[in-house]
Chain A
Amino acid sequence: MNNFPETCATKQLNSVTTGHGTAITEIPTSLRPNRSGKKNRLSVDMALSHVFETPVSGFNFENSTRNILLENVLDEGKTKAPKPLKTGTTIAGVVYKNGVVLGADTRATSSEVVADKTCAKIHYIAPNIYCCGAGTAADTEKTTDLLSSNLTIFSMNSGRNPRVVMAANILQDILFRYRGMIGANLILGGVDCTGNHLYRVGPFGSMDKVPYLAMGSGDLAAMGILEDRFKVNMEVEEAKTLVCDAIHAGIMTDLGSGNNIDLCIITRRGVDYIRPYQESEYKQRRQEKYKYKPGTTPVLTENIVPLELELVHEMVQTMETA
């Protein structure tokens, strides 16, 4: 009757090739035995419940060599590859009585220029789990998408709702494997059958379970607010105000954070994604309409050519039904 899920989270230490080409063999993927002591004998090739293929071991530096080649080809090294879009962020999360509140600003910067004023930094992972991401925008986006896909596959395979600790473990696996090359600092928050949880996952693959948290370039200011006013088992309005004030402190103090504040309140009953929760007080109204009126560009000539299609071959194949 008690059908334990086929898999729990998995861990693997992948091989690392050193500069001299000495490859170290990978420790094979396998299961952690669950609490009842049941063991599952698995071969290395067995599909995990949340991924389609077991990942290949070792590093793949093809893209690095390609980038170097491209830079040399374009203008003999004078053109550099575009800098990655960093989020320069303030994100924060707080566990309160009935769930978790996550908050983020909405500014994405590319060096000194604001590239996106309405960037969405709170990513969907599962119906009951959301993730705030700081660091390189592409890395956080892709990693959270990958995590979300894996958890959906797991839910379909096992018929269970994913747990926050599983999401954190999968993130830890992915990030540790790339040894800090994926610049993703993530705050994972959610509510599951075991309670309300908030995890921090660092870019090197370290994981911390905490009741309140701030990350990103504005984290020092936000942490100050949180350290001062956090209390255990707060009510929802107090928690929302606290997170909003923490992000606001980050926005005021840090150049890389700004614009609006998004909030995401996760409870057992559901998710309230408020975007934006608070708009920037420095937002200006557009002075005029900047659309071109029809007729601004004069039409000189008009030439209509009908496209003739000829039916060459038609084949009907009946489907075999049992």
Chain B
Amino acid sequence: LTTIMAVEFDDGVVIGADSRTTTGAYIANRVTDKLTPIHDRIFCCRSGSAADTQAVADAVSYQLGFHSIELDEPPLVQTAANLFKQMCYRYREELMAGIIVAGWDKRRGGQVYTVPMGGMLVRQPVSVGGSGSSYIYGFIDSNYRSGMSKEECLRFTAEALALAMERDGSSGGVARLAAITEAGLERTVILGNQLPTFFSA
């Protein structure tokens, strides 16, 4: 299905995803953008059914936008994550959606919340999701350190995505990264032949 990932660092978060959507064995879109903006400084990484996650993300971005206008303040990442959790849990039987919510707000800085299938909500400093995540848990556990800088986080995410895309058939294409901080948003795309390379048998 996908590989998605999000990492917290001091001033914000770095999120990343692959770009492959498949219908069975056919790649329907090899340049998908799975990093969806929910608000100015809050993004979600979508994995699972494309239709379900697009619909949920649209509904939540409406609700969050409305809430933010009522409050006259930028919304909290925790609020966005809770909105996702409420929807994913209530419709858990009908939806197939694994979502990572990540962003920056003034109260708690960079935060990553994971809402896997079933509708759990938990905050983690680093989180991976999708079918390709199984292949990189070891890499994440051994290579993550707290207190990394933005550049280190970007490199860490790119390497993790490259490893997952190499091993998982349902992940591939280009690697899309985004860094969200108070100052704003930087999006990058790493093409297939520019991904970090590792040993291959």
Q: B59 is contacted by which of A27, A31, A179, A220 (Cβ under 8 Å)? A: A27
Closest CB-CB distance, B133 to chain A, in whole Å?
21
Q: Is the CB of B87 within 8 A of A13?
A: yes
Q: Which residues from chain B contact A31 at a C-beta distance below 8 Å?
A: 62
Q: Is A202 in the interface zone, CB < 8 Å from B?
A: yes
Q: Which residues from chain A contact B58 at a C-beta distance below 8 Å?
A: 11, 32
From DSSP, what is the main secondary structure of chain A's interface residues?
A: loop
Residues of chain A whose beta carbon lies under 8 Å from any beta carbon of chain B = 11-13, 16, 18, 24, 27, 30-33, 37, 39, 172, 175-176, 179-180, 200, 202, 204-208, 210, 219-220
Q: Which residues from chain A contact B31 at a C-beta distance below 8 Å?
A: 210
Q: Is the CB of B62 within 8 A of A11?
A: yes
Q: Is B93 in the interface zone, CB < 8 Å from A?
A: yes
Q: B54 is contacted by which of A27, A30, A205 (Cβ under 8 Å)? A: A205
Q: Which residues from chain A contact B87 at a C-beta distance below 8 Å?
A: 13
Q: Which residue of A lies closest to B55 (CB)?
A: A176
Q: Is B189 in the interface zone, CB < 8 Å from A?
A: no
| 28 A-B interface contacts by CB (under 8 A) | A11-B55, A13-B59, A24-B91, A31-B62, A32-B58, A32-B61, A33-B65, A33-B66, A39-B66, A39-B69, A176-B55, A179-B94, A180-B51, A202-B50, A202-B51, A204-B49, A204-B50, A204-B51, A205-B51, A205-B54, A206-B21, A206-B49, A206-B50, A206-B54, A208-B21, A208-B29, A210-B29, A219-B26
Q: Is B108 in the interface zone, CB < 8 Å from A?
A: no
Q: Is the CB of A33 within 8 A of B69?
A: yes
Closest CB-CB distance, A289 to chain B, in whole Å?
47
Q: Mark B87-126, 1 if CB is under 8 A from A, else 0.
A: 1001101100000000000000000000000000000000
> Which parts of B45-61 form the interface with A (CB within 8 Å)?
49-52, 54-56, 58-59, 61
Q: Which residues from chain B contact A219 at a C-beta distance below 8 Å?
A: 26
Residues of chain B whose beta carbon lies under 8 Å from any beta carbon of chain A = 21, 23, 26, 28-29, 31-32, 49-52, 54-56, 58-59, 61-62, 65-66, 69-70, 87, 90-91, 93-94
Q: Which residue of B lies closest to A27 (CB)?
A: B59
CA distance A31 to B21 in the complex (A): 29
Apart from A33-B66, A206-B50, A220-B26, 19 more pairs, CB < 8 Å: A11-B58, A12-B59, A13-B55, A13-B56, A30-B62, A30-B66, A31-B62, A39-B66, A175-B51, A176-B51, A180-B51, A202-B23, A202-B28, A205-B54, A205-B55, A206-B49, A206-B51, A208-B32, A219-B26
CA distance A140 to B55 in the complex (A): 21
CA distance A208 to B28 in the complex (A): 9
Q: Which residues from chain B contact A220 at a C-beta distance below 8 Å?
A: 26
CA distance A180 to B32 in the complex (A): 21
Q: Is the CB of B59 within 8 A of A16?
A: no
Closest CB-CB distance, A175 to chain B, in whole Å?
8
Q: Which residue of B lies closest to A10 (CB)?
A: B62
Q: Is the CB of A32 within 8 A of B55?
A: no
Q: Which residues from chain B contact A208 at a C-beta distance below 8 Å?
A: 21, 28-29, 32, 50
Closest CB-CB distance, B185 to chain A, in whole Å?
16
Q: Is the CB of B54 within 8 A of A172?
A: yes
Q: Which residue of B lies closest to A223 (CB)?
A: B26
Closest CB-CB distance, A193 to chain B, in whole Å?
23
CA distance A208 to B91 in the complex (A): 24
Q: A16 is contacted by which of B28, B55, B61, B91 (Cβ under 8 Å)? A: B91
Closest CB-CB distance, B62 to chain A, in whole Å?
5
Closest CB-CB distance, B36 to chain A, in whole Å?
12
